[in-house]
Structure formats: structure tokens, C-alpha cells
A and B are shown apart, each in its own frame.
Chain A
Amino acid sequence: MLVKQFTIRAFEINIESQEEFLDFFTKNREIIQKYFLIINGKVTENIKKILKEEKILFTVGTLKNNSFVKNCHIQEIKAVEEKESKIFNFPIRSGMEIKSNSDIILLKRANSASSIQTDGNFIALDTVEGKVECNGEFMFLKASPKALILFNGKDISSYLQKNSFFSITFEEGNIEIKEFKRGNK
């Protein structure tokens, strides 16, 4: 028997009318394409057809009581998009914990035993020695060998062992890690 474990990201969507859903879908197609949909409400044939054409996986039902699924409604998605980046111009010290939906920019170090979790992108201009869990599409950082770096559910710490900055992107389910050098595009 072969068992594979995946970490998936999902939106739970309550459909009250087909028109409202299609309008939302048209505006947010790029985001939705990267997610698994848990749809609560009536899924019309038209909606099924569109999701199939766009190769978006979905299931009908609700996982509200299941703690590992983030209960994310349409209004909340819009709110997330509008949030601004958070900039930290002081060291993130041991024992500090940051949780955010926004992009995070660190101008100073993140020290050992600090913890940063974001659903946005993450940029650090000084060394990261603590734990970073980023579920966004982009990271830019220099990690100490002691750091724990999780990107969209995958531990990428071992790929960042050089004393250099790295840019890391998440596209169509793939993680790409590039060492940053002057002149890189």
C-alpha cells in the first residue's frame, strides 16, 4: 500500500445564489485556482461546469467543526486582499509570536525561539534564527542553520543553509528556491 500525505489549502464557501458566486469567482479566479473548495449550498450544473473547465477541485458540504480547515467566507477573502503589509523595525526576540494574514517585512533579526506565522508573503532583511511559517506566494530571507522555515506546509530549512539571501516562490503547487545574487532578476 502506498500512502501519500499532502497539505492542502482550502476555501469554504457558502453559496446563496449562483450569480453571486460567479461574480465572486470571476473577480478572484487567480486566487481560487490554487485552492481546494469546500462548498456549502446549492452547486448548480453551471457552477460544476465552470469549476471543471478551470480544473478546480471541490467537494460539497462543510467542515466547520474540523479544526484543521480554516473557515474562510467570501467576505473574509475580500478583507484579506485589502490588508496592508506589516513592517517590523525592531528585532523579533525570543518568545515573541507574530500571527498575521498580511505580508510581513522584517528590517531587523528574528532571533532564536521567536515565531512568525503569516498567510501573506514574508521578507526579512536581516538573519532569521527562529521559526517562520509562511503560507503566501513569496519569501525572501537569509536563514541561520538553526532556523525552522516552513513554506506552504513544507520544511525548506535544509535548502537555505548557505549564508546568503534566498528568494522562494510558490507557483502551481511547486516551490522554487533561488539563491539571491546581485544582478538576479
Chain B
Amino acid sequence: MSEVYAVISGKGGVGKTTTAANLSIATAKEGKKTVVVDFDLGQRNLDMILGLENRVVYDITHVMDGEVNIKQALIKDKNQDNLYFLAASQTKDKTVLNEEKVEQLINMLKEEGFEFIFLDSPAGIESGFEHTILFADKAIIVVNPEVSSIRDSDRVIGLVDSKSKKAKEGKSVEKLLIINRINPELVDKGEMLTSEDILEILSIKLLGKVPEDKKVIDASNKGKPVILNPDSEAGNAYARIGKRLCGEDIPFADVESVKNQGILSKITGIFK
């Protein structure tokens, strides 16, 4: 059975595309047939993060306009057998999307037997975002622990509750929260919101907590998502989230406490 996940945030630059890329690899590694679709028409990035930029021949608009069939446009990942990617158009903008075409595209992906369909939403709340949430079964909200990101996420949660097709039919779209870029040092100093604070404000189910990790930038630049690096804390966090999505009961790791304090910081900590 297919499940459509919209990966959204409202605010740009919070790690939405990185999250979509890593989660799609995570579920594929769990043996689930997965596709990740870049809905950010005109500003595509997912191909670079997945390291597939030189493989894009056809994109989402070619499929929606009937120029090619879905099989021709799907790109098989070079590392994961179960993972496929559908690129956004870089030359056309979001105005080419309409409800009928998006529904047809989602149905084609379901017919291909994908168990997980991740839709990477553009930032903002305009038409590109609205089309991403329209046919979603579940929404993954990516948030950074800072007030502007939380406010924008709060806004898009409200829009999911009012504008998705399920919501219009009186059903509810499950909303799952990923708190990204948690910095334990700042949390420890009281300079960053804790996950408890964020959950109290947003009042939705927690899916995972991802710590700040410098390896993420290097991984994106190299087109080798961080989940493939076993030494990456962020990569391991994405792997745990993938297992949760596949139904495993994985406890939440403590990514908010400062680890491996040096002797000097331990001594200064005593006198705090």
C-alpha cells in the first residue's frame, strides 16, 4: 500500500530537501520501494543532494504534460535498489502545476507500486506548497529550534488542516514533526528552544530529532547524503526516523545533552 508524505516547513533553509533525501534512502534501506519527488519547480536541488544531477533527462513536467511515461522519467538511485527519484523542472516554474495533473502523477506513482512516496515541497505557502499537500496522506513538518521557523511551521500545519484533499473530505492528515539542527551546547546554555518547548507550541506528534552536524554540508556538496556516513550523528538520526516510518518502535535518542565534555568545561560547569 502506498503512502504519500509531504515534506514541508513553511520557512526556507531549514533542511527540508536534505530531510526528504535522507528519509527516502532510509526507507529504501529498510527494503521499502520508495520514490522521492522534487516539487520545487524552478529551483530544484534534490538531484544534487542525491548525487543524481547528471542523470536527469526528463522531469516532472514532461510526465504531467504526457510527453513521456512515468517509467522514462524515474531515475533509479545508484546506491539503493529500492529508491527512485523524479526531478523537478529547472526551466519551468510552479504555475505549470494544477490539481488534475498532480493527482494523475500521484496515481501513476501508486500504480508503480511505491510504498513510500515523499514529496519535497518548496518553501513558502504559495501554489507549489499547496499542490504538495493536496494529495498527501501524511505531512512531515521540518522545523529548526528557532522562533521564526516554529511560527512558519505552525502556519503550514494550519494550512494542511484546511487545504489538503483529506481535510476537505473531513478526514485528518497525520502530522509528524522533525526537529532539525539541534545544537546541544545552545540547548544546555538555555539559548535554544528545547524539543519540549517546540512540541508544546506545535502540538503534533514527534517523529524525530536531528542534531546539528557539519558532515551534512559536506555530504550535500558531494551528492552523498549523510545517512550513508555511519559516523554522522545526523545520518544515524535519519536512519532511526526511517525505521519509525516503517513501523519499528525506536526510542528517541538524547541529542540535546552535551556529550564528551572536556575537563575544563566540567570544572567550569561545577561553578555555574
Contacts and interface: CB of A to CB of B under 8 A. Distances in A.
Nearest to A112: B151
Contact of B158 (A93, A109, A112): A93
Contacts of A109: 200-201, 203
Nearest to B154: A94
A34 interface: no
Contacts of A108: 203
B26 interface: no
Contacts of B150: 112
A176 B188 CA distance: 40
Interface in A74-109: 91, 93-96, 108-109
B200 to A, nearest CB: 8
B186 interface: no
Contacts of B202: 91
A111 interface: yes
The bracket for how many chain A residues form the interface is: 10 to 19
A112 B200 CA distance: 13
Contacts of B200: 109
Contacts of B201: 109, 111, 129
Nearest to A113: B151
Nearest to B157: A93
A91 B154 CA distance: 10
Interface in B93-116: none
Contacts of B158: 93-96
B217 interface: no
B258 interface: no
B203 A94 contact: no
Contacts of A113: 151, 154-155
A112 B203 contact: no
B57 interface: no
B152 A91 contact: no
B147 A112 contact: yes
Contacts of A91: 154, 202-203
Interface string A134-158: 0000000000000000000000000
Nearest to B200: A109
Interface in B134-169: 147, 150-152, 154-155, 157-159
A177 B226 CA distance: 54
A96 B156 CA distance: 11
Nearest to A96: B158
Nearest to A146: B147
A95 B203 contact: no
B147 A94 contact: no
Contacts of A93: 154-155, 157-158
Contacts of B157: 93
Nearest to B162: A96
Contacts of B154: 91, 93-95, 111-113
Interface string A113-138: 10000000000000001000000000
* Among B155, B159, B200, residue most surrounded by chain A Cβ atoms (within 10 Å): B155
Interface string B204-225: 0000000000000000000000
A60 B201 CA distance: 50
A93 B159 CA distance: 9
A107 to B, nearest CB: 11
Contacts of A95: 154-155, 158-159
B212 to A, nearest CB: 24
A111 B202 CA distance: 8
Nearest to B153: A94
Given A94-B154, A108-B203, 5 more contacts: A91-B202, A94-B151, A95-B154, A111-B201, A112-B151
Interface of B: 147, 150-152, 154-155, 157-159, 200-203
Question: Which 9 pairs, one residue from A and one from B, show the smallest C-beta to C-beta distance?
Answer: A93-B158, A94-B154, A94-B155, A95-B155, A93-B154, A94-B151, A91-B203, A111-B154, A112-B151
19 contacts: A91-B203, A93-B154, A94-B151, A94-B154, A94-B155, A94-B158, A95-B154, A95-B155, A95-B158, A96-B158, A108-B203, A109-B200, A109-B203, A112-B147, A112-B150, A112-B154, A113-B151, A113-B154, A129-B201
